[in-house]
Amino acid sequence: MGPGYTAGVSYDESEMNLAGDLLAGDVRALARAISLAEDRDPQATALVAELQAHTGRAHLVGVTGSPGGGKSTLVDALVRVIRERGRTVGVIAVDPSSPFTGGAVLGDRVRMSRHTLDKGVFIRSMGARGHLGGLAAATREAIHLLDASGRDVIVVETVGVGQSELEISSLCDTVVLVLMPESGDAVQSIKAGILEIADVYVVNKADLSGAEKARRLIQDAVAMAPKKPWQPPILLASAVKEEGIGPVWEAIESHRAFLRQSGGLEERRRERLKQEVIALVAESARDDARRAVEGDTPVGRLLRDNRNGRLNPYSLAADVRAMRPARGAEN
Nearer to another protein, 98 or 261 (CB): 98
* CA–centroid distance for 208 within its chain: 29
The rounded distance, in Å, linking the Cα atoms of 327 and 91 is 41
In 9-89, which residue ranges form alpha helices assigned H by DSSP? Answer: 18-23, 27-38, 42-51, 71-84
For another protein, the binding residue among 59, 71, 124, 151 (CB under 8 A) is 124
Show contacts with another protein in window 46-105 (CB under 8 A).
97-98, 101-105
Q: CB 190 → another protein: shortest distance, Å?
A: 38
Minimum CB–partner distance for residue 41 and another protein (Å): 7
**Measured distance CA(201)–CA(230) in Å, rounded:** 13
The least CB distance from residue 287 to another protein, in Å, is: 9
Q: Which stretch binds another protein (CB under 8 A): 118-126, 246-254, 255-263, 277-285?
A: 118-126
Sign of the Cα pseudo-torsion (311, 315, 316, 319, in order): negative
Q: Is residue 7 a contact residue for another protein (CB under 8 A)?
A: no
Tell how far CA 229 is from the center of its chain: 25
- Rounded to whole angstroms, what are the CA distances from 109 to 32, 105, 261? 18, 11, 35
Please tell me whether residue 262 adopts helix, strand or coil conformation.
helix
Catalogue the E-assigned strands of 187-239: 200-203, 234-236
Asked if 106 touches another protein (CB under 8 A), the answer is yes
Which residues inside 14-53 make contact with another protein, applying CB under 8 A?
A: 14-16, 27-28, 31-32, 34-35, 38-41
Q: Which of 51, 73, 80, 122 binds another protein (CB under 8 A)?
A: 122
Q: Provide the minimum distance between the beta carbon of 85 and another protein in the complex, in angstroms, as a whole number.
A: 22
Q: Interface residues with another protein (CB under 8 A)?
A: 1-5, 11-16, 27-28, 31-32, 34-35, 38-41, 97-98, 101-107, 109-110, 113, 116-117, 122-125, 127, 129
